[in-house]
């Protein structure tokens, strides 16, 4: 396994917005991390990348094993050697992800120079190759441009190039397309998929859109209110969702041929991290809620049919 | 069928920016020659990418901004020529729901205050029980009347926004991306609510979105816009797209079904600047079917099959 | 003192204001001592014709300007010619013309006898510049260059900031009042203009300057506390007083005026505000002037009982808050002052003293440079101010009927006073007659209470005794070039 | 907006530790100012010349000044002058600034541009200069000082109100109101002004602190309250002449100014936190 | 960039016109007739008329303004009514002192203010932050004349380290620069702190960390650079404020300068000098904004592009 997250919990002071998350990701694989807003997707990403201290959070418990090393045990300088080099990050909004005062090329070059020890010229050559491989026309001219001179889609490619420049093994992409237009969004998603296959990277793709997951992910982890609801391979997950929340999320996306009025939605809203209820956090919105769901936390358990599930009353069960 | 409830004829709106001391004034057509009709009880969808003029069109239809060309009729009455008093009276019959539920409510107003405003504007006081009835209609508890916006979730706020639009029992509602900033689960709730309201109150909607999948689910007909102009009007939600741009939008839609993974015919090129539109078809730069004709001549919107106008030299 | 700052240039012909540096760059024909006696300087001797119609001055031989030009009777003729068109020409209004009898003898031919001529010639306004250079330099004269015959030469002058003087090594014509008849002991003098009194004092205290030409009066008490500081005293020429506007209610009533005047506690002020330095004033003129010796019964001295009685008589009744009232009107009066710290302090004391007899004075503070404009409007009732003059004609200046408004801010215009005034100003042929006439005029004015006398300071040069040696007794009517002749730096 | 709701941010601000301390001092100093005649041990203008320059003692807790007047008494009365001058003039200034700023932001066009230019320019000039010139025009004294403070801060409030109005004007709820048929005046009075109010009032509160300093500075130049009426500034002004001899005459009123202004700032900060308007103030 | 500069400067022209008109007009509102100052008591009306004619005071205001502006543009600021010397000469003597004082104070405020701001931002909400911001708050709430007097009392009178007043050499600059600087430091430190905190929370900084760059490099090369944009803008906008704030300080330290000259002239109703002083300050303000824009353009490519 390239990345193994076990029982990960994140705390901010007394608040624990993320508890007991576990999932795996292998090379050449795309893991979709889905859930509604506030479910803890970004926190998971930050925890894996070791960036929690930046927002003054900390890992309270659990391990993040990357290529055999438990990152949670590393000191910041050691961790820094991983970041950018072996683990790269792509964030949601390309409009704000680049330093507006630095030329594009320099922002990409620095990764190869810092981590791969390349010379200025060497790094620039790498950068241009990289940009060309991302189908950016006139790569040389673009690398001399400033971020504000590029369109959003183009900028997101630059951010991806920046991620690739350290020749990483793992890319964490946190909603890389939500800020983009639909047509561009599709291109970026497909581009990421392609990169994973070509380069044998692991990709952790964070999204709230089950459609995206269905289109590109191999494996899915569904988060709800800071806990893992279900993880599984993508195809069976969509074919026969076991967690009521997974099913409901899928049901929220209109599909062709759907009868008007059949779009279900999920009643209620995600609770805030400071006000998590006892028991299953989804129980208030769940159609299958029983008494036990109110009081007892369903822990993720491995299932014979594959993946893990945290539900007292899964679908398909009596 | 009787007259359409609302009709727009060759609507256009030009914006000028800059024109300060240092920058030369630049102008762009945010909406170019858009015509359409919405029948009573119908839902007309408008889709297009960000900046293509959807919101501008919505504002023009409700005359929240003045058109630079064309006119709008509502129930046989010309909206574009009305004086302030008549316009205000007419506003009881048409309402708008906004994209951002966070800024569409005055933070100082309680829910009850917000729902009273449509009456206050008309110089009335709401009839007894009306506020509670409205809350009930959008699925909010009456206890919420005293809450302030910051105490509500995004979905709840949007419900308040819808209730406010419903306050004067309008015939027609413009929904400008009412779910774009909400989670999918909440989006589905809101769409469900809007369907119910339409069914129960016989409302007519102009529904704006950038999500073709959603529009095709919710609307009867779909207007596809590109850079301010209509490129295709799909007569039915499930009609096959004829314009390459509509096709591209459709391909970009992610279906939640891993067994139906699509390969994408990637669009190349960049969207031209609205300030500097090319001579020919605005989509030419990105179109997989482009020919010299497209670059030279702007295609007119014409009906390929009855009720299905497309503006393309080489329709699919 | 405020007269030391703000000199726009060192041209005595255009000056509206002079300072000590003037007297070091330039010499005058005559020198006046602190006791008001006249002494030779550039004029070795002089004779007045019996009828007062002419004066002959014998110039000291060998006197040279800084640029080497000799001083001759011709120089005097040219200079007086130029002086006629100057701002201060009134000083020679009575001079018909000046003739050069020979190289070193000049004759002043008078239109009218003027017993005050010697006084005028000793004034620093009548310092003698080199007429040739004045003509050559025009507007720049006194700024870039100033050429006189004095013990120091002007090295540099920065408006409002400082003036640097260097020793005139050829100087050999000091006034007999000075012990040192040769070049001065001090090689270089820097005059700094420090507008704030407190700052100036702190500079002296902290060693930033070696001497203050005139120590602000309210700092007198501080000198004793400083072992390194000492005072050199010169008889004063200044009088602090309170003008009373006789045309403004309630001061149209002489009883109210008198009451206000009698409410001023001169002794208390001398002791507490001025640390007992200087003397009290009981009439308008400095005590050194013979014209100040009016009938002691007319002198104005603190008498609160009488003041209260006068106000009662005038119908002003004390209210519960101690403020007097008449016909429902409070005895509220405006008390003007200027913003210099000594005035502000003094005025607050005066205000409190007036209050004890039932006035309710409201202080209004003006900058010293604009208060003049304000007086011209005639809205003042009471004010606290001072004048700096050592001649009895100051009574005419401040109470002359034709100067109502300004400088006659008491707006005093009394037929009897005018009669006495005319006699004093133009009706005296000799000094004795002049004294007698002015005595009468001064006494009458005082009896009408258009002012209340307060205080007569001494002039005090404060200096750092670790740095400077200053003679015990200082001659001159202020710190002039003559005084500086005898000052040296401590070894 | 009902009164309790309007006051609730103040209560919330007063509950923060800093806000509590600052609020306590402000309440204290305001009470002292109001009750001055009752609590001051002496009359503020009672001179006792032989007893001048006394250091603090049991008879005069804070010592005496150059006229032997009790300093504690004068600081108490000084609070009265300094506070009332700055509070009243800032209140007027805030009101005028809101009217002008709202008019500019609302009317727009050439009027707006003219106001903006004037306001921006005078904003770049230090308040003390504007005030000095104004006092030169109006004349010294309490009235002159109030007018000067009023005008000196006018630019700030006009600017702030205008920018608030412009920012609020682009909020969707304004467009929503328009879509309901609301006219310009309705929107101005129901949405724009009430929403602009909180930041402008808080800015006004903070400016009151600056105004106290400005009043003190004018007083120091001898242009403020005229004797014997004490204000903190005029006390320091007369004290400065004998700084070396009786430094407490100037140190004490200076501390009174500093503590009060710090308190105003701390409470203002707490209020900004309670009202959650930090970003809105900063954008302006 | 050059054409931008030219345009920017041309843009200043109407502003300058407006400002100069305001300055000219304000001065005519000040009570007190300067002619009175020039006249001897009892002067004849003809003498008065002569003086009025000499200073052009008898013409309509608009003509007077035109004449004045015309002269100003030729570098002739008129003649001081009180000292009767060319105002330009006076300004020439005092302006350098003010520039020196203002420049050093600006330097001090920027360097110390930025350092303190960075320290506070890095230790956000911890004790160093509280300490710095508390000190800064106190520094900005003490009237500057008071600080000046206390500094004089301690360092000049008690310790004798620096001169009490005047402008004689560098040692006399220390206390005034510190006095003005305290206010400036407070301003800069506050703006820097907020800007640093803002910038540090921006996405691109997160990404810089994600690239594995050392924190110190991120701080100095990226965060500080961005944080400097508002700081420089504020500083530039406030140049006039700092120069004008020097009024009090110049007065307290009896330093020659525009401030003391202005106060004196204001008290003496010396119109031409007041006008000239205000004009100098206005020009400083305008140059400040210009400078701010230019520096901003140099630091921010978006602005650079917008103006190109
Ligand atoms: N710095 C922080 N301090 C305290 N709580 C935080 C912080 N950052 C996030 N949280 C809380 O953690 C929870 C998860 O946040 P996270 O950003 O991971 O959600 P997400 O799934 O990425 O949502 P979105 O789709 O909106 O990006 C939220 O309830 C949020 O309030
Ligand atoms: N008031 C205005 N002034 C100038 N330009 C404007 C104005 N309003 C809109 N525009 C411009 O008109 C174009 C169309 O804007 P509009 O808001 O209608 O797009 P949209 O399709 O609603 O986009 P989105 O999906 O982002 O909401 C944009 O380029 C926009 O910048
Ligand atoms: Mg997130
Ligand atoms: Mg829109």
Q: What pLDDT is recorded for position E38?
A: 60
Query: Nearest Cα to B246, choosing from B268, B224, B267?
Result: B224
Query: How far apart are alpha carbons A54 and A185 in whole angstroms?
Result: 28
In this prediction, residues B97-119 reach a mean pLDDT of 91
Query: How far apart are alpha carbons B95 and B118 in whole angstroms?
Result: 10
- Look at residue C227 and give its three-state secondary structure: coil
When scoring D125, D149, D257, D269 by the number of chain E Cβ atoms within 10 A, the one with the most, hence best to mutate, is D125
If one residue of A17, A55, A175, A179 were mutated to test the ligand 1 pocket, choosing by the most ligand atoms within 8 A of its CB, it would be: A17
| Confidence tier at C88 by pLDDT (50, 70, 90) | confident
| Average of per-residue pLDDT values in chain A | 89
pLDDT of E41 > 70? The answer is: no
CA A18 from chain centre, in angstroms, equals 14
pLDDT of B34 > 90? The answer is: yes
In this prediction, residues D29-49 reach a mean pLDDT of 89
Q: Which helix (H) or strand (E) holds C101?
A: strand C95-102
| Average of per-residue pLDDT values in chain D | 87
Q: Which residues contact E92 (CB under 8 A, 6 or more apart)?
A: none
CA C372 from chain centre, in angstroms, equals 17
What is the Cα Rg of chain C in Å?
24
pTM for the structure as a whole: 0.85
**Is residue B53 lining ligand 2, measured as CB closer than 6 Å?**
yes
Q: Which chains touch E (3 or more CB pairs under 8 A)?
A: A, B, C, D
User: How many angstroms away from the CA of B209 is the closest CA of chain D?
Assistant: 17
Query: How far apart are alpha carbons A167 and A126 in whole angstroms?
Result: 11
Helix-helix angle E271-299:E224-237, to 10 degrees: 160
Task: Dump pLDDT digits (tens) for C275-289.
Answer: 888 899 999 999 989
What are the structure tokens assigned to B176, written together? 């400008």
| Confidence tier at D34 by pLDDT (50, 70, 90) | very high
- A100 and E302: CB-CB below 8 Å? yes
Q: Which of A92, A96, A111 sits opposite E211 (nearest CB)?
A: A111
When scoring B61, B82, B97, B108 by the number of chain D Cβ atoms within 10 A, the one with the most, hence best to mutate, is B108
Task: Dump pLDDT digits (tens) for D209-222.
Answer: 999 999 999 888 88
pLDDT of C324 > 90? The answer is: yes
Q: What pLDDT is recorded for position C6?
A: 66
Q: What pLDDT is recorded for position C56?
A: 93
What atom of ligand 2 comes closest to residue B274's alpha carbon? 29
What are the structure tokens assigned to B255, written together? 């279906």
Query: How far apart are alpha carbons D162 and D106 in whole angstroms?
Result: 8
- Look at residue D262 and give its three-state secondary structure: helix
- E83 and C143: CB-CB below 8 Å? no
In this prediction, residues D88-115 reach a mean pLDDT of 90
In this prediction, residues D226-243 reach a mean pLDDT of 83
Lowest mean pLDDT among A114-118, B80-84, C299-303, E234-238: E234-238
| Confidence tier at D284 by pLDDT (50, 70, 90) | very low
One-character DSSP codes across D225-247: SPTTS--HHHHHHHHHTTTTT-T
In this prediction, residues C231-239 reach a mean pLDDT of 87
What are the structure tokens assigned to C375, written together? 């007086």
Q: What pLDDT is recorded for position E218?
A: 92
| Confidence tier at B19 by pLDDT (50, 70, 90) | low
Contact at 8 Å (CB) between E211 and A53?
A: no
Q: What pLDDT is recorded for position D27?
A: 94
- A214 and B184: CB-CB below 8 Å? no
In this prediction, residues D166-178 reach a mean pLDDT of 90
What are the structure tokens assigned to A313, written together? 């009353």
Query: Nearest Cα to E214, choosing from C189, A81, D75, A271?
Result: A81
Query: Nearest Cα to E82, choosing from E37, E52, E124?
Result: E37
Q: Which residues of A touch E (CB under 8 A)?
A: 49, 51, 54, 80-85, 88-89, 91-93, 96-102, 110-111, 114-115, 146, 148-149, 159, 162, 166
Lowest mean pLDDT among C58-72, C113-127, E2-16: E2-16
| Average of per-residue pLDDT values in chain C | 88
Q: What pLDDT is recorded for position E36?
A: 63
Task: Dump pLDDT digits (tens) for A165-212.
Answer: 988 999 999 988 887 888 888 888 888 888 899 989 999 999 988 888
Q: Which residues contact C367 (CB under 8 A, 6 or more apart)?
A: C338, C339, E267, E268
Query: How far apart are alpha carbons B163 and B168 in whole angstroms?
Result: 10
Query: How far apart are alpha carbons E161 and C218 in whole angstroms?
Result: 26
Query: How far apart are alpha carbons B79 and C125 in whole angstroms?
Result: 89
Query: Nearest Cα to B186, choosing from A177, A42, A208, A242?
Result: A208
In this prediction, residues C235-244 reach a mean pLDDT of 92
The CATH homologous superfamily of the domain defined by A1-86+170-255+268-318:
P-loop containing nucleotide triphosphate hydrolases (3.40.50.300)
DSSP strand E in B1-114: where? 6-17, 26-38, 43-47, 69-74, 77-78, 94-97
When scoring E32, E88, E94 by the number of chain C Cβ atoms within 10 A, the one with the most, hence best to mutate, is E32
- D254 and E150: CB-CB below 8 Å? yes
Helix-helix angle E258-268:E239-252, to 10 degrees: 70
Q: Which of A185, A208, A252 sits opposite B188 (nearest CB)?
A: A252
User: How many angstroms away from the CA of A53 is the closest CA of chain B?
Assistant: 28
pLDDT of D1 > 50? The answer is: no
Omega before D72 cis (within 30°)? no
Residue extents of the structural domains in chain A? 1-86+170-255+268-318, 97-167
DSSP C25: H
pLDDT of C295 > 50? The answer is: yes
Q: Phi and psi (nearest 5°) for C82?
A: -70, -35
| Confidence tier at C3 by pLDDT (50, 70, 90) | very low
Query: Nearest Cα to E80, choosing from E262, E247, E240?
Result: E262
Q: Identify which has the larger pLDDT, E254 or C252.
A: C252
Q: How many other CB atoms sit within 10 Å of the CB of residue C431? A: 14
Lowest mean pLDDT among A293-297, B84-88, D199-203, D219-223: D219-223
pLDDT of E53 > 80? The answer is: no
- E254 and C87: CB-CB below 8 Å? no
pLDDT of E57 > 60? The answer is: yes
Chain E hits for B20, CB-CB cut-off 8 Å, are none
Lowest mean pLDDT among B14-18, D155-159, E188-192: B14-18
Helix-helix angle A182-199:A152-164, to 10 degrees: 20
| Average of per-residue pLDDT values in chain B | 88
Provide the pairing of β-strand A87-90 with A69-70.
unpaired
Q: Whose CA is nearest to atom 11 of ligand 2?
A: B30
Tokens 């509500």 sit on residue: B152
Q: What pLDDT is recorded for position C371?
A: 82
**Number of Cα atoms under 13 Å in the Cβ half of residue C325:** 8
Exposure string for E183-222, b = 16+ CB within 10 A, e = fewer: bbbbbbbbbbbbbbbbbbebbbbbbbbbbbbeeeebbeeb
Task: Dump pLDDT digits (tens) for C12-32.
Answer: 888 777 788 888 999 999 998
- Exposure of D2 by Cβ count < 10 A (0-12 exposed, 13-18 middle, 19+ buried)? exposed
What are the structure tokens assigned to B26, written together? 């630049």
Closest-approaching ligand to the CA atom of B61: 2
Is B in contact with D (3 or more beta carbon pairs below 8 Å)?
A: yes
- C202 and E156: CB-CB below 8 Å? yes
What are the structure tokens assigned to E129, written together? 């932050």
What are the structure tokens assigned to C49, written together? 């014709």
CA A192 from chain centre, in angstroms, equals 12
Tokens 């993320």 sit on residue: A18
Q: What pLDDT is recorded for position E1?
A: 64
pLDDT of E43 > 70? The answer is: no
| Confidence tier at B64 by pLDDT (50, 70, 90) | very high
pLDDT of D2 > 60? The answer is: no
Task: Dump pLDDT digits (tens) for C368-404.
Answer: 777 877 888 888 899 999 998 888 889 998 999 888 8
Provide the pairing of β-strand B69-74 with A69-70.
unpaired
Query: Nearest Cα to C344, choosing from A296, B22, D242, E55?
Result: D242
Task: Dump pLDDT digits (tens) for C337-356.
Answer: 987 778 888 999 999 999 99
Query: Phi-psi region for residue B228, left (φ > 0), alpha (ψ -120 to 50) or beta?
Result: left
Q: Whose CA is nearest to atom 12 of ligand 1?
A: A17
Chains C, E: CB pairs < 8 Å:
87
**Number of Cα atoms under 13 Å in the Cβ half of residue C208:** 30
Highest mean pLDDT among B131-135, C207-211, C473-477, D234-238: B131-135
Task: Dump pLDDT digits (tens) for E198-228.
Answer: 888 888 999 999 998 999 999 988 999 888 8
Task: Dump pLDDT digits (tens) for C426-484.
Answer: 887 788 888 999 999 999 999 999 999 999 988 888 999 898 988 888 888 788 888 88
Percentage of chain C beyond pLDDT 70 is: 99
User: Please, what is the Cα angle at A38 between A33 and A44, to 5 degrees?
Assistant: 45
Query: How far apart are alpha carbons D240 and D257 in whole angstroms?
Result: 16
End-to-end C-alpha distance for chain E, whole angstroms: 6
pLDDT of E3 > 80? The answer is: no
Lowest mean pLDDT among A213-217, C137-141, E187-191, E242-246: E242-246
Query: How far apart are alpha carbons A111 and A165 in whole angstroms?
Result: 6
DSSP D277: -
**Is residue B109 lining ligand 2, measured as CB closer than 6 Å?**
no
Q: How many other CB atoms sit within 10 Å of the CB of residue E5? A: 14
In this prediction, residues B177-200 reach a mean pLDDT of 89
In this prediction, residues E29-53 reach a mean pLDDT of 65
Query: How far apart are alpha carbons B55 and B267 in whole angstroms?
Result: 25
In this prediction, residues D93-98 reach a mean pLDDT of 94
Residue A12 pairs in a beta bridge with A15
Long-range interactions of C39-47: CB distance < 8 A, separation 24+: C39/C175, C39/C176, C39/C177, C40/C175, C40/C176, C41/C173, C41/C175, C41/C482, C42/C71, C42/C128, C42/C149, C42/C173, C43/C121, C46/C118
């Amino acid at each position: 396994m390239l990345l193994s997250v076990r029982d990960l919990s994140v705390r901010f002071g007394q608040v624990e917005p993320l508890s007991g998350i576990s999932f795996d990701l292998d090379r050449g694989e795309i893991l979709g991390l889905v859930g509604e807003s506030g479910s803890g997707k970004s926190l998971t990403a930050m925890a894996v990348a070791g960036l929690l201290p930046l927002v003054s959070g900390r890992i309270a418990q659990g391990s993040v094993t990357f290529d055999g090393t438990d990152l949670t045990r590393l000191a910041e300088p050691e961790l820094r050697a991983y970041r950018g080099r072996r683990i790269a990050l792509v964030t949601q909004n390309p409009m704000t992800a680049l330093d507006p005062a630095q030329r594009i090329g320099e922002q990409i070059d620095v990764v190869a120079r810092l981590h791969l020890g390349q010379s200025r010229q060497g790094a620039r050559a790498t950068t241009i190759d990289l940009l060309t491989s991302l189908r950016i026309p006139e790569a040389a001219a673009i690398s001399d441009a400033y971020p504000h001179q590029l369109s959003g889609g183009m900028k997101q490619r630059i951010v991806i190039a920046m991620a690739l420049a350290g020749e990483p093994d793992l890319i964490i992409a946190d909603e890389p397309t939500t800020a983009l237009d639909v047509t561009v969004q599709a291109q970026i998603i497909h581009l990421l998929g392609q990169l994973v296959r070509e380069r044998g990277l692991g990709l952790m793709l964070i999204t709230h859109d089950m459609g995206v997951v269905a289109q590109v992910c191999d494996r899915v982890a569904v988060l709800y209110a800071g806990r893992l609801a279900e993880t599984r391979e993508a195809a069976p997950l969509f074919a026969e969702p076991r967690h009521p929340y997974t099913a409901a999320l899928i049901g929220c996306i209109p599909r062709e041929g759907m009868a008007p009025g059949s779009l279900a939605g999920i009643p209620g809203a995600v609770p805030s991290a400071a006000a998590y209820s006892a028991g299953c956090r989804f129980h208030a919105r769940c159609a299958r809620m029983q008494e036990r769901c109110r009081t007892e936390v369903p822990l993720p358990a491995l299932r014979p049919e594959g993946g893990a599930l945290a539900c007292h009353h899964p679908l398909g069960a009596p | 069928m009787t007259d359409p409830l609302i009709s727009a004829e060759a609507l256009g709106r030009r914006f000028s920016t800059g024109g300060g001391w240092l920058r030369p004034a630049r102008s762009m057509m945010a909406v170019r020659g858009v015509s359409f009709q919405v029948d009573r009880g119908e839902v007309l969808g408008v889709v297009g990418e960000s900046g293509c003029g959807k919101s501008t069109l919505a504002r023009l239809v409700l005359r929240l901004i003045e058109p630079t060309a064309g006119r709008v009729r509502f129930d046989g009455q010309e909206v574009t020529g009305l004086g302030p008093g008549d316009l205000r009276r007419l506003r009881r019959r048409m309402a708008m729901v906004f994209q951002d539920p966070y800024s569409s409510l005055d933070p100082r107003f309680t829910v009850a205050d917000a729902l009273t405003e449509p009456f206050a504007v008309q110089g009335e006081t709401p009839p007894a029980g009306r506020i509670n009835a409205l809350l009930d209609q959008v699925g909010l508890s009456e206890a919420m009347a005293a809450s302030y916006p910051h105490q509500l979730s995004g979905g709840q706020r949007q419900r308040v926004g819808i209730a406010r639009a419903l306050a004067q029992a309008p015939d027609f509602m413009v929904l400008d991306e009412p779910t774009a900033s909400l989670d999918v689960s909440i989006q589905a709730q809101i769409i469900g609510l809007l369907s119910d309201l339409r069914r129960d109150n016989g409302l007519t909607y102009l529904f704006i979105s950038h999500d073709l999948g959603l529009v095709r689910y919710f609307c009867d007909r779909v207007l596809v816009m590109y850079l301010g102009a209509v490129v295709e009007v799909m007569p039915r939600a499930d009609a096959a797209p004829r314009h390459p741009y509509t096709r591209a939008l459709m391909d970009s839609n992610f279906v939640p079904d891993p067994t139906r993974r699509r390969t994408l015919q990637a669009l190349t090129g960049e969207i031209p600047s609205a300030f500097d539109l090319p001579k020919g078809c605005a989509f030419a730069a990105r179109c997989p079917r482009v020919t010299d004709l497209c670059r030279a001549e702007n295609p007119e919107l014409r009906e390929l099959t009855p009720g299905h106008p497309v503006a393309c030299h080489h329709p699919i | 003192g405020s007269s030391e700052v703000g000199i726009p240039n060192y041209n005595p012909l255009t000056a509206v204001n002079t300072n000590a540096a003037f007297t070091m760059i330039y010499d005058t024909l005559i020198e006046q001592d602190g006791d008001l006696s006249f002494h030779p300087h550039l004029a070795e001797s002089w004779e007045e014709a019996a009828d007062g119609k002419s004066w002959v001055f014998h110039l000291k031989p060998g006197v040279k300007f800084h640029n080497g030009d000799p001083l001759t009777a011709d120089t005097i003729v040219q200079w007086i010619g130029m002086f006629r068109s100057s701002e201060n020409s009134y000083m020679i209004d009575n001079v018909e013309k000046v003739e050069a009898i020979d190289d070193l003898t000049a004759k002043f031919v008078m239109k009218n006898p003027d017993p005050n001529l010697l006084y005028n010639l000793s004034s620093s306004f009548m310092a003698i510049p080199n007429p040739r250079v004045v003509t050559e330099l025009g507007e720049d004269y006194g700024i870039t260059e100033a050429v006189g015959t004095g013990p120091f030469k002007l090295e540099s002058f920065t408006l409002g900031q400082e003036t640097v003087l260097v020793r005139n090594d050829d100087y050999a014509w000091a006034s007999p009042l000075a012990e040192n008849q040769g070049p001065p002991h001090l090689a270089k003098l820097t005059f700094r203009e420090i507008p704030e009194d407190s700052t100036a004092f702190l500079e002296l205290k902290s060693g930033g300057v070696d001497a203050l030409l005139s120590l602000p009066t309210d700092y007198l008490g501080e000198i004793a506390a400083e072992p390194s500081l000492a005072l050199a005293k010169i008889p004063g020429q200044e009088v602090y007083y309170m003008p009373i506007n006789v045309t403004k209610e309630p001061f149209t009533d002489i009883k109210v005026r008198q009451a206000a005047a009698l409410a001023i506690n001169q002794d208390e002020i001398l002791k507490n505000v001025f640390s007992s330095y200087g003397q009290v004033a009981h009439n308008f003129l400095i005590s050194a002037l013979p014209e100040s010796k009016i009938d002691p019964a007319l002198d104005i001295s603190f008498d609160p009982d009488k003041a209260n009685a006068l106000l009662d008589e005038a119908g002003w009744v004390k209210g519960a808050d101690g403020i007097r009232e008449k016909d429902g009107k409070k005895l509220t009066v405006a008390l003007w002052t200027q913003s210099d710290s000594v005035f502000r302090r003094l005025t607050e004391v005066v205000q409190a003293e007036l209050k004890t007899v039932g006035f309710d004075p409201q202080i209004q503070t003006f900058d010293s440079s604009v208060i003049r404009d304000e007086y011209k409007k005639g809205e003042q009732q009471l004010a606290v101010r001072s004048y700096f003059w050592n001649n009895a004609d100051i009574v005419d200046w401040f109470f002359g009927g034709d100067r109502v408004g300004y400088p006659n801010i008491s707006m005093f215009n009394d037929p009897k006073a005018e009669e006495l005034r005319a006699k004093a100003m133009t009706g005296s042929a000799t000094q004795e007659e002049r004294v007698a006439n002015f005595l009468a005029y001064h006494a009458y004015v005082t009896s009408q209470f258009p002012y209340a006398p307060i205080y007569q300071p001494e002039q005090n040069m404060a200096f750092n005794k670790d740095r400077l040696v200053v003679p015990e007794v200082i001659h001159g009517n202020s710190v002039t070039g003559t005084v500086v002749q005898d000052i040296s730096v401590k070894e | 907006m009902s009164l309790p709701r309007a006051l609730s941010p103040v209560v919330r601000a007063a509950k923060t530790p800093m806000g509590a301390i600052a609020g306590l001092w402000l309440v204290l100093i305001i009470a002292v100012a109001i009750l001055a005649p009752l609590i001051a041990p002496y009359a503020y203008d009672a001179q006792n010349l032989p007893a001048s320059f006394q250091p603090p003692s049991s008879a005069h807790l804070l010592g005496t000044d150059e006229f032997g007047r009790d300093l504690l008494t004068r600081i108490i009365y000084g609070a009265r002058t300094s506070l009332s001058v700055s509070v009243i003039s800032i209140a007027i200034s805030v009101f005028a600034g809101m009217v002008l700023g709202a008019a500019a932001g609302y009317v727009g066009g050439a009027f707006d541009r003219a106001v903006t230019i004037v306001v921006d320019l005078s904003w770049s000039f230090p308040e003390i200069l504007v005030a000095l010139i104004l006092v030169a025009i109006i004349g010294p004294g309490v009235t002159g000082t109030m007018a000067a403070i009023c005008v000196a801060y006018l630019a700030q409030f006009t600017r702030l109100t205008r920018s608030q109005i412009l920012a609020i004007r682009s909020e969707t709820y304004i467009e929503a109101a328009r879509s309901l048929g609301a006219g310009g005046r309705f929107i101005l009075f129901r949405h724009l002004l009430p929403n602009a109010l909180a930041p402008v009032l808080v800015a006004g509160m903070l400016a009151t602190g600056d105004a106290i300093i400005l009043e003190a500075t004018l007083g120091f130049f001898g242009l403020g309250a005229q004797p014997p009426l004490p204000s903190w500034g005029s006390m320091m002004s007369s004290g400065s002449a004998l700084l070396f001899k009786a430094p407490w005459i100037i140190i004490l009123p200076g501390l009174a100014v500093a503590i009060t202004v710090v308190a105003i700032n701390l409470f203002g900060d707490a209020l900004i936190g309670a009202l959650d308007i930090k970003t809105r103030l900063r954008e302006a | 960039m050059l054409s931008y500069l030219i345009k920017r400067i041309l843009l200043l022209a109407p502003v300058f016109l407006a400002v100069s008109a305001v300055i000219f007009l304000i001065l005519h509102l000040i009570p007190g007739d300067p002619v009175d100052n020039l006249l001897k008591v009892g002067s004849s009306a003809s003498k008065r008329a002569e003086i009025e004619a000499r200073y052009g005071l008898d013409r309509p205001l608009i003509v007077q303004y035109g004449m004045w502006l015309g002269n100003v543009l030729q570098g002739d600021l008129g003649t001081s009514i009180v000292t009767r010397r060319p105002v330009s000469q006076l300004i020439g003597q005092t302006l350098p002192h003010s520039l020196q004082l203002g420049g050093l104070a600006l330097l001090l405020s920027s360097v110390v203010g930025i350092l303190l701001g960075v320290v506070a931002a890095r230790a956000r909400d911890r004790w160093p932050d509280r300490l710095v911001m508390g000190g800064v708050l106190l520094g900005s709430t003490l009237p500057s004349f008071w600080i000046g007097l206390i500094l004089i009392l301690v360092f000049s009178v008690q310790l004798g380290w620096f001169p009490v007043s005047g402008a004689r050499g560098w040692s006399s600059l220390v206390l005034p620069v510190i006095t003005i600087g305290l206010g400036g430091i407070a301003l800069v430190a506050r703006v820097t702190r907020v800007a640093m905190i803002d910038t540090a929370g921006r996405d691109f900084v997160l990404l810089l960390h994600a690239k594995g760059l050392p924190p110190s490099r991120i701080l100095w090369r990226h965060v500080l650079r961005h944080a400097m944009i508002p700081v420089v803008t504020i500083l530039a906008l406030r140049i006039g404020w700092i120069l004008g704030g020097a009024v009090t300080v110049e007065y307290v330290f009896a330093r020659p300068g525009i401030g003391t000259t202005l106060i004196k002239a204001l008290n003496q109703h010396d119109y031409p000098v007041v006008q000239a002083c205000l004009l100098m300050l206005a020009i400083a303000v305008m140059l400040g904004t210009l400078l701010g824009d230019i520096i901003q353009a140099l630091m921010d490519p978006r602005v650079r592009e917008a103006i190109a």
